[in-house]
Amino acid sequence: MIAPDGEQVGVMPTRQAVEEAQRRGLDLIEVAPNADPPVCRMMDHGKFRYEQQKKARDAKKKSKQTQLKTLRIRPNTDDHDVEFKMRNAERFLKKGDMVKFNVIFRGPELRHKDRGRDQLLKFAEGLSEIGEVDQPPRMEGRRMTMLIRPKTVAE
């Protein structure tokens, strides 16, 4: 049996261990049932559960949920519109979100896949300071996609 302060009390019968825990106003919790003899600990179970829930809440609060933001462009999109989309992507990356770029081809535009690739590479180059390419440009049906994630800060 283990005392609340972590000190080993010693081996004792179950009834005596329960009486000792009740005398101290604590619960007797079985920690290692498969050990020989089984190991029990005296503790305030309600307080123990409260502390565990508090730690879980704090961990959840500190964790950041990354989202995937999608930006759609066309192969013939003008430079000003590309700059506008780049500013949006920059804002998303600074927030810690990943950005997926889709270049959508329609009709005869499909013959000019190099224009779409150039658009995506322009984004990758413009965002290279705050983001890195996670998935290079690739065709998926009538659209070409690229994924950029925020750069990890070396600590």
pLDDT band at residue 154 using 50, 70 and 90 as cut-offs: very low
pLDDT in tens, 89-132: 999 999 889 999 999 999 888 888 898 898 899 889 989 899 89
The enclosing domain of 33 has a CATH number of 3.10.20.80
The domain in which residue 34 lies consists of: 14-62
Q: How many domains does the chain have?
A: 2
Q: Is residue 78 located within the same domain as residue 101? A: yes
Q: Is residue 105 located within the same domain as residue 51? A: no
pTM check: above 0.95: no
Q: Is residue 31 located within the same domain as residue 91? A: no
Q: Which of 79, 3, 81, 93 is nearest to 40 (CA)?
A: 3
What is the rounded distance in angstroms from the CA atom of residue 83 to the CA atom of residue 108? 25
**In sequence order, what E strands does the chain have?**
27-32, 39-43, 68-73, 98-104, 131-140, 143-150
Instruction: Tell how far CA 9 is from the center of its chain.
Output: 42
pLDDT in tens, 138-150: 998 899 999 999 9
The enclosing domain of 116 has a CATH number of 3.30.110.10
What is the rounded distance in angstroms from the CA atom of residue 23 to the CA atom of residue 43? 12
